[in-house]
Amino acid sequence: MENTTRTIFVVDDNKSNLVTALDALSSYYTVLTFDAGVRLLNTMEKKMPDLILLDVQMPEMNGYQVMQRLKADDRFKKVPVIFLTAMDSTVDEVKGLEMGALDYIIKPFSAVLLRKRVELHLKLFDYSNNLERMVQDKIKELATKSNHVESLKNSLLRTTAELVEYRDENTGNHIERTQKYLELFINAMIEHNVYADEAQSFNMELVLQSSQLHDVGKISVRDAILFKPERLTPDEFEEMKLHTTVGEKIINKMKATTHESDFLEYARIFAVTHHERWNGSGYPVGLKESNIPLLRRIMAIADVYDALVTKRPYKSAFPHEYAVKVISDEHGSHFDPALTNLFMQIHPEFEKIATRLKEIES
């Protein structure tokens, strides 16, 4: 026998049909009968069935109208429904199935047929629910694994960038600070309508991740040059400049072996252009003004600000006010004028980030 905790609602304005259904099912299920659709809907406010047997032709509210009400309510729309009908019409049957009914049972029905159809559809419904739960559990499991993989990828990316770019303790959390400055600046660009359309098109998560690789090409620079406390000689500076093109080559090799194209394209832009200047005096290409990618022009201010306010092997940390003056003075030469003007409005937020992260370091 079936588990009697399963509840079946039967709706039919013909008392004889209700009695037949009750006799056929009550030994196997808990059965409640209703002679009108409105009574079914009222009862469902308090009690939910496992399946509904619903007559099509009823006065006041027919079965199709009841079905519409059920499907329009998030609480009831998943309850399985089988139509009971004396109509033997393909058009009517298709209409009911399109509305979401599981099946049609033609009246008059036999007790055995009714019981078997109910049993079958409850099993199918249970199977469907179990399958849906399994799928959802698997999706959650995969999402968890994906988050773990993403976390591991970010950790490896950050560690690699720090090992390549900053191989002594004087540089601190330059990468984290730069990411915070970039995020602040891009959000400010959208808020203040400065290159807002392009800024909104950025995938912020990928931009911030890829920015960690902007100096990946420094893997090719000798420590004697990278950490030299005095000014570089012309030959040493030429060697240092090569880190931009080396970085581009490294990232292009990555692009050839992965599908992470957006992330790596952002990284390539940062790596090869982050020393270009607005007036064309930068390197490696000497790009000028709007020919320099916007991401690079944003990074220019973030990178220079951080270099000025933090200690490096060749200098002490300068105060925030000095960094602001340097960037202001380079308006239209090193830096994009529109972005420099925006920096002058939001530079106190830069100072807050720098101060907060320095406190964490100490």
pLDDT tens digits along 203-232: 898 888 888 788 788 877 887 887 777 888
Q: Residue 330's pLDDT is what?
A: 94
At 86, the pLDDT band (50, 70, 90 cuts) reads confident
Q: How far apart are CA 316 and CA 330, in angstroms?
A: 21
Minimum mean pLDDT among 44-53, 75-84, 87-96, 182-191: which range? Answer: 87-96
State both tokens at 165. Answer: 């770019």
Alpha helices in the chain (DSSP H): 15-25, 37-44, 63-72, 90-99, 111-165, 174-191, 196-201, 204-210, 223-226, 234-241, 243-255, 261-273, 294-309, 320-329, 337-361
Minimum mean pLDDT among 165-174, 223-232, 323-332: which range? Answer: 165-174
| pLDDT exceeds 60 at position 155 | no
pTM comes to: 0.55
Mean pLDDT value of segment 150-166: 56
Mean pLDDT value of segment 171-188: 84
Backbone CA torsion sign across 65, 69, 72, 76: negative
Location of structure tokens 């993403």: 150
Residue by residue, DSSP assigns 37-99 as: HHHHHHHHTT---SEEEEES--SSS-HHHHHHHHHHSTTTTTS-EEEEES---HHHHHHHHHH
114's CB contacts (< 8 A; 6+ apart) are: 20, 21, 24, 25, 53, 105
Location of structure tokens 């999706």: 139
More confident residue, 238 or 5: 238
Mean pLDDT value of segment 54-73: 90
- The angle that helices 294-309 and 261-273 make with each other, rounded to 10 degrees, is 60
| pLDDT exceeds 80 at position 236 | yes
Answer yes or no: are the C-beta atoms of 50 and 122 closer than 8 Å: yes
Q: Residue 168's pLDDT is what?
A: 43
Coil, strand or helix: which one is 241? helix
| pLDDT exceeds 70 at position 322 | yes
Q: How far apart are CA 48 and CA 8, in angstroms?
A: 9
Q: Residue 307's pLDDT is what?
A: 87
Q: How far apart are CA 298 and CA 186, in angstroms?
A: 8
Mean pLDDT value of segment 56-76: 90
Q: How far apart are CA 41 and CA 313, in angstroms?
A: 77
Q: Residue 153's pLDDT is what?
A: 56
Backbone CA torsion sign across 75, 77, 79, 82: positive
Mean pLDDT value of segment 302-311: 89
Q: Residue 111's closest CA among 217, 20, 182?
A: 20
Answer yes or no: are the C-beta atoms of 113 and 95 closer than 8 Å: no
